[in-house]
Amino acid sequence: MAPASGRPLTLRAHLLRLTLAVLLPALLAGGLTAWELGRAYRQAVENALQGGARTLAVAIDREIEVAVTAASSLAGTRALRALAESGDSAPEEAIAELYERARTVGNAFGGWVLLVRADGEQLFNTQRPLGAPLPAAAAQPWIRRATASGQPAVTNLFTGSVAQRPVLAVVTPVLAPGRRPGEGPAPLAILLAFDPARLAAMLALVREGEIAGLIQVEDGRIIARSLNHATSTGRVAPDWVAAPLRNLTIGQASGPSLDGAAIVAAFQRLDRVPWAVVVTASRATYQAAWRSPLERLVIAGAALLALGLLLAGLLARRLLDPVRALAREAQELAAGGATPSALAAAPVAEFEALRVVLAQAAETTRARSVSEGRAAAAEEAAAELRAERDRARLYFDMAQAVLVVLGPDGRVRSINRHGLSVLGLRHEDEAVGRDWFEGFVPPRLRPQLRRLFQGLAQGTEDGAASTENAVLRADGTERLLVWRNAVLRDAAGRLIAVIASGEDITDRRATEERQTLLMREVDHRAKNALAVVQSILRLTRAERPRDFATAVEGRVNALARAHTLLARESWAGGSLRELVRTELAAYGAEDRLRIEGPPVWLAPDAVQPLSLVLHELATNAAKYGALSAPGGRLAVDWQVEADGGLRLDWREDGAALAGAPAHRGFGSRMIAATVTGQLGGSLTMDWRPAGLHARLRIGADRVALREPATAPTDAEAAAAPPPLARLAGRRILLVEDEPLVALDLEETLRGLGCEVAGPAATLAEALRLAETPRLDAAVLDVNLGGQAAFPVADLLLAQGVPVVFATGYSELPGGWTPEGGQGPTALLRKPVDRAALAAALCRLVPPEAAPHAPL
């Protein structure tokens, strides 16, 4: 036979080409992956900067809101509003009292307070003693704006006339009695001023290597800065960062910093004032975050390519030696009369040499060599094909995705084990041969998916695109899958099969939907609670501020107790007996109360409204009814009616009523509206001379029978009034980091006759005060600026000092218990009820110990 035309390539060259064909696509894919990874790293850095700016903006917005609330509270005091009405005729004692209160508010906020007229004239400035000379009047635009509109305003950075340094201020108009915000100009205004360094300290919470700044959007001036605040305040930020702030709420920019270094910045506008928080990082750090992985991958790819070429060379060397030996052996066999089968021309030089030699020997023994050679080749090919098929089937069944092979007619040709499990089938025979769309697709989706399949067959649809659709299981239920398709065609372009790969996302999607529903429910309940509190504040009427505060505090505490009950039961409702017992606990002794009725479980939407109704009835009984008389008694009983509704009777006995009230107050109107509206029932009120008899009917949809885990007794529903005389002269340590809450608790303790040590706002200060002698008890906030107050509690309990925890948590976090397992403690949930605080202290303070003398 004549040799094949052309010069064939060596086996070494073929192996080199094979290596390159395998490695180059892999390196290309690695390069694309590296590029995408670099983009992901860059996006992560940008998201981190933007997240820092957003977090700081929320914190500063909250700080400004606190300042506005503090200034508005001071401006709304009755004495100050009376001064706004009387002008210059107010007595000096009233001015002095206002001055002291204003200085307390300013110190609590870390600043100072000014009382000014609309033209800017200062009546007092807590930086100067009362009556000291003050700078001449200088009307400021924000003072005029606040007094003219009657609404609070927040100033930009300005130089204080007394402080003589850059300051910020909240300006709140002082309205005369009877005037509401927006009803004409105000004659006076309160300014709560503070140093921008207070905001700079908040900006310093950025991550290491980042710098945060607070910038006025109007003129680009820097208000505060986490680094070099003193030298940066008042300077104008570079235009590349100041200009976008005027048009965008959130964004990113890059350019030179104040000292010339190249930086990237993320900014976030504040909601309350026209300021923006800007967080910056050096461009070198920003670029290193995404360039370094890319460079490492390039180096690794080059190393892998070199290694692949080296291995290809070694493999070629190992293959060439046996092939050459085979060629020599074939020459010898040809000379001895061997009869190999005829071979086609080979593209490899060594194989071609072997073919020529064997062809010479085939002339004498062609028949036998052909038959034996073909049989051996066929057997070897068949064995190889079976092994390859078995390996492919193994990989097919081991895949953790649903793999379905569909023929051109849409019938199932093959399905893997995971697919059978998802479809609820046991054997592949249950699926193979069936029409996929008729057997495993919900009827509503069949037309759409058949059109998609036809598009894949005709090449008009992209097989690589992912789609979501449900499949129909054998038991009739549905599962949601994400599908990706691969289309197989022959050389003529005709469809051979469609391989569909599906991932079951049913459980993941259900989890996402539950989380979304939970977030919406939490948001809904929080807004409802705030709306109820807002309505209480607006509708409560009282002649004196203290009466107003007491009424509002009682109603808010009733809401808090209902919220605690709901939270403990995971918002699944609450026990009627526990709700009644909780609301009546502070109003009478055990021998004056009777609570009876079957176990009843209230629906979640009924707990809070009924809590307010019971609170109003109990408050009325304590002020005017049976609980206000020495021998008065109160009975509360209920029963479930035939239609599933609830009838609750409130009976007072021992009062001396002159009849029904002459007019209905807010409490009576709220009870009637709540029972008929939110509780879906009816109300009758019989004002008997011996006391009120009220009958409430609550709709069946608000009630469900349920046996409580532990049935409380009537004895648990009553609590004796605390012996307040026991608290006179007691020295109480107060630890609270919220200034306004601390002021309220301090006033409450002093009103009980106690001497207050503190208040301490930090853990270090609380530990220092806890080591001082002559402490009778302590009231501790659990969370002090992110630090738990338990070390203070351990120190006090070791000294025998009882501790009252005041916290917003429903229980102490972390399962804390006193060291040694014992210690006199109590837990009160915020907002703290004054009567509950007095009762807890009276219970914990030993009656035989003598009170300490004041220091």
- Convert the pLDDT of each residue in 326-373 to its tens digit: 566 566 555 554 444 444 565 556 556 656 655 555 555 555 555 565
Residue 371 near residue 380 (C-beta atoms within 8 A): no
pLDDT band at 751 (very low <50, low <70, confident <90, very high): confident
The whole-number pLDDT of residue 370 equals 53
Least-confidence region, from 261-265, 316-320, 365-369, 605-609: 365-369
* Integer Cα distance of 189 and 197 in angstroms: 24
Sorted by sequence, the CB contacts under 8 Å of residue 852 that are 6+ apart come out as 729, 730, 731, 755, 774, 776
Tell me the CA distances in angstroms from 467 to 169, 442, 480, 482, 854, one per residue in order: 56, 15, 11, 6, 77
Q: 714: part of which helix (H) or strand (E)? A: none
Return the percentage of the chain with pLDDT > 90, whole number: 11
The whole-number pLDDT of residue 109 equals 82
Sorted by sequence, the CB contacts under 8 Å of residue 101 that are 6+ apart come out as 74, 77
The pTM (predicted TM-score) of the whole model is 0.38
Across 477-578, where does the E strand assignment appear?
Answer: 478-489, 495-504, 574-575
pLDDT score of 7 more than 80 = no
For 173, list phi and psi in degrees, rounded to 5. -70, 145
* Integer Cα distance of 288 and 294 in angstroms: 10
* Integer Cα distance of 4 and 568 in angstroms: 90
- Convert the pLDDT of each residue in 423-432 to its tens digit: 899 888 888 8
- What one-letter code names the amino acid at 222? I
**What residues does 214 pair with on adjacent strands?**
224, 277
| Mean pLDDT to the nearest integer, 151-158 | 89
* Buried-state track 782-799, b at ≥16 Cβ within 10 A, e below 16: bebeeebbbebbbbbbee
The whole-number pLDDT of residue 779 equals 94
The whole-number pLDDT of residue 539 equals 54
| Mean pLDDT to the nearest integer, 185-208 | 87
Q: What is the mean pLDDT of the chain?
A: 78
- Convert the pLDDT of each residue in 634-662 to its tens digit: 889 998 888 878 899 998 888 777 566 76
Comparison of pLDDT for 39 and 463, the residue scoring more: 39
- What one-letter code names the amino acid at 174? V
Tell me the CA distances in angstroms from 343 to 321, 340, 374, 383, 385, one per residue in order: 21, 9, 11, 21, 22
Q: Which of 92, 44, 61 is nearest to 286 (CA)?
A: 44
Per DSSP, the residues of 369-419 read HHHHHHHHHHHHHHHHHHHHHHHHHHHHHH-SSEEEEE-TTSBEEEE-HHH
Q: Give the per-residue SS3 of 737-770.
A: CCHHHHHHHHHHHHHCCCEEEEEECCHHHHHHHH
Q: 593: part of which helix (H) or strand (E)? A: strand 593-596
- Convert the pLDDT of each residue in 811-822 to its tens digit: 676 667 665 545
- Convert the pLDDT of each residue in 61-96 to its tens digit: 998 999 999 888 888 888 788 777 776 556 777 788
The whole-number pLDDT of residue 352 equals 62
For 72, list phi and psi in degrees, rounded to 5. -65, -40
Residue 245 near residue 216 (C-beta atoms within 8 A): no
Least-confidence region, from 12-26, 103-117, 190-204: 12-26
Provide the Cα torsion 230, 236, 240, 243; round to 10°: 130
Locate all alpha helices (DSSP H) within 541-681, ordered by sequence. 545-568, 576-584, 604-623, 666-676
* Integer Cα distance of 404 and 396 in angstroms: 10
* Integer Cα distance of 321 and 329 in angstroms: 12
pLDDT score of 543 more than 60 = no
Token code pair at residue 93: 């004692």
pLDDT band at 855 (very low <50, low <70, confident <90, very high): very low
Token code pair at residue 508: 């993941």
* Integer Cα distance of 211 and 222 in angstroms: 13
Residue 584 near residue 835 (C-beta atoms within 8 A): no
The whole-number pLDDT of residue 498 equals 87
The whole-number pLDDT of residue 718 equals 38
Q: 776: part of which helix (H) or strand (E)? A: none
| Mean pLDDT to the nearest integer, 446-456 | 87
pLDDT band at 2 (very low <50, low <70, confident <90, very high): very low
Handedness of CA 584, 585, 590, 595 (dihedral sign): positive
pLDDT band at 853 (very low <50, low <70, confident <90, very high): very low
The whole-number pLDDT of residue 710 equals 42
CA angle at 809 for the pair 806 and 814, rounded to the nearest 5°? 105
Q: Which of 85, 118, 110, 83 is nearest to 99 (CA)?
A: 83
* Integer Cα distance of 114 and 99 in angstroms: 9
Residue 815 near residue 794 (C-beta atoms within 8 A): no
The whole-number pLDDT of residue 708 equals 41
Three-class secondary structure of residue 674 per DSSP: helix
- Convert the pLDDT of each residue in 452-465 to its tens digit: 888 888 878 776 67
Residue 506 near residue 479 (C-beta atoms within 8 A): yes
| Mean pLDDT to the nearest integer, 231-242 | 88
pLDDT band at 772 (very low <50, low <70, confident <90, very high): confident
* Integer Cα distance of 749 and 233 in angstroms: 42
Handedness of CA 283, 288, 289, 295 (dihedral sign): positive
Return the percentage of the chain with pLDDT > 70, whole number: 72
Provide the Cα torsion 373, 376, 379, 380; round to 10°: -100
* Integer Cα distance of 549 and 614 in angstroms: 19
pLDDT score of 525 more than 60 = no
Sorted by sequence, the CB contacts under 8 Å of residue 128 that are 6+ apart come out as 134, 162
Q: 653: part of which helix (H) or strand (E)? A: strand 646-653
* Integer Cα distance of 841 and 521 in angstroms: 37
Comparison of pLDDT for 25 and 663, the residue scoring more: 25
Residue 562 near residue 580 (C-beta atoms within 8 A): no
* Integer Cα distance of 214 and 57 in angstroms: 9
Residue 801 near residue 766 (C-beta atoms within 8 A): no
- Convert the pLDDT of each residue in 106-136 to its tens digit: 888 888 998 888 888 888 899 899 888 888 6
* Integer Cα distance of 351 and 355 in angstroms: 6
The whole-number pLDDT of residue 163 equals 77
CA angle at 631 for the pair 625 and 635, rounded to the nearest 5°? 60
| Mean pLDDT to the nearest integer, 266-282 | 91
pLDDT score of 582 more than 70 = yes
Token code pair at residue 447: 């037309």
Burial of 726 (0-12, 13-18, 19+ CB in 10 A): buried
Comparison of pLDDT for 719 and 254, the residue scoring more: 254
The whole-number pLDDT of residue 733 equals 94
Token code pair at residue 389: 């098929």
Q: 720: part of which helix (H) or strand (E)? A: none
